[in-house]
Amino acid sequence: MLEGLYKRRKTSRFDVLFYIVAGIFIVLALRLFMLQILAGGYYQAKAEGNRLRMVPMTAARGVMYDRNGQILVGSRPAYTISIMPTGKALDDGEVAKLAALLKMKPEDITKKVNDHKYGYEPIRIANDISMDVVTTIEEHRHELPGVTIDVEPLRYYPYETMASQLFGYVGEVSEEELDELKQQDPNTLVSGGTILGRSGLEKLYDSILRGTDGGKQVEVDATGRPVAEVDRKHTVPGANIHLTIDVNLQKAAEEAVKNQLNQLRAQGIPAQGAAVVAMDPNTGAILAMVSAPEFNPNWFSKGITTAQWNQLNNDKNHPFDNKVISGEYPPGSPFKIITGTAALDLKKVTPEEMIFDSGKHWLIDKRNAEGEALGWLNFNRALAKSDNVYFYEMGNRVGIENLDKYAAYFGIGEKTGINL
């Protein structure tokens, strides 16, 4: 009787143990099912994200040519230094080492990394690095895990400051801009490292010039260092554009402005700015456009320094302004064409009528530029000499309302059709 009772208790214990073990295996099986089947894609992607990285490749921007096929703005290959994010905090010693090699402040590198928001895209640290620096970084590669060296197209302005406000400049998309673009269009082709037009023709025709960025999928080791390329999406270069600018005329106009400003300054006249535009009167095509002072857009392509930015931004003569199109100035003597046309067309004067110039107008104290008195003049001589007194009288005869009407005939007050 006691033996039967012992056997029943032993059997009951084994049953309980069996159910416990069975329950554990069921829980494990369910968990395995959830991990492998339900969440398998998520964890596979996460694992691949730790092993595989997509490295963006910047497309070469389109070339700007002048009317005769001369290159005005192009691109050239340049070495770029980037850091591959690992999801871990940067080692201060590695940052200090890289900063010393690049002659940068460690805090500038740290800020670039901390501002980065989008996954494992490489963080561009420096552009257009010299071969000496590239060689030195390669020699210390074992001390700089995650640091990569790539060759990318760099926007290049061979004439440096020439027509800088017209051509404009480019710059890398900022994290804030990227946030805004992704909110507007989650499928935007703009990514970290994309180069955008910032002003002038670079901005106006950015969608044409930019092209389509590509990328390469690389396998990385535990330190984030690329070890093998797995796949590649090739870039599509931007389209080229042909301008109406004549580079030889542009050079001549720039030189003339420079000489004129130097002459005025030598005379004690504080002339700091000037504007020149040369147009084809038959078509309205712009052959040259000069705005002084200018700036060097190559500074922006390479990554402008704080000192360079402060120099330009604090310049009281506003080098960023294209004074040909963005300033408001008295029209001066060119307006005599409109005044003269109105006077002749309205029969307020005949080409032969003689008017006496005593050096100032007889109704108001308006004088010639140098105070000169040219005596008796007809229309042709007055226009040839650009005589102020004669055309003050023409304005007096025509009246303000007619001047306004004839100015409108000449397109004054209307948009030029130049999209800048």
pLDDT (tens digit, 9 = 90+) per residue, 213-255?
A: 888 777 766 656 666 777 788 889 999 999 999 999 999 999 9
pTM for this entry: 0.75
pLDDT for 183 equals: 83
pLDDT for 359 equals: 86
Range of the domain at 404: 333-409
The backbone region for 283, taken as left when phi is positive above 0, alpha when psi lies in -120 to 50, beta otherwise, is alpha
Is 37 part of any domain? no
Q: 3 vs 121, which has greater pLDDT?
A: 121
Q: Mark which of 240, 268, 294 sits at the end of a domain.
A: 240
Domain total of the chain: 2
Distance CA 34, CA 3 (A): 47
Give the pLDDT band (50/70/90) at residue 49: very low
Q: 198 vs 415, which has greater pLDDT?
A: 198
Is 399 part of any domain? yes
Is 162 part of any domain? yes
Is 305 part of any domain? no
Q: Mark which of 213, 240, 267 sits at the end of a domain.
A: 240
Give the pLDDT band (50/70/90) at residue 140: confident
| Three-state helix/strand/coil letters over 226-278 | EEEEEEEECCECCCCEECCCCHHHHHHHHHHHHHHHHHHHHCCCCCCCEEEEE
Distance CA 137, CA 190 (A): 29
Give the pLDDT band (50/70/90) at residue 382: very high
Q: Mark which of 240, 271, 306 sits at the end of a domain.
A: 240
211 burial (CB, 10 Å; 0-12 / 13-18 / 19+) is buried
Q: DSSP strand E in 23-130: where?
A: 52-57, 64-65, 71-83, 123-129
Is 197 part of any domain? yes
Q: DSSP strand E in 87-225: where?
A: 123-129, 147-156, 170-172, 195-197, 214-220
Is 347 part of any domain? yes
Report the range out of 27-36, 54-63, 140-149, 248-257 with the highest average pLDDT: 248-257
Is 45 part of any domain? no
Is 144 part of any domain? yes
Mean pLDDT within 58-72? 96
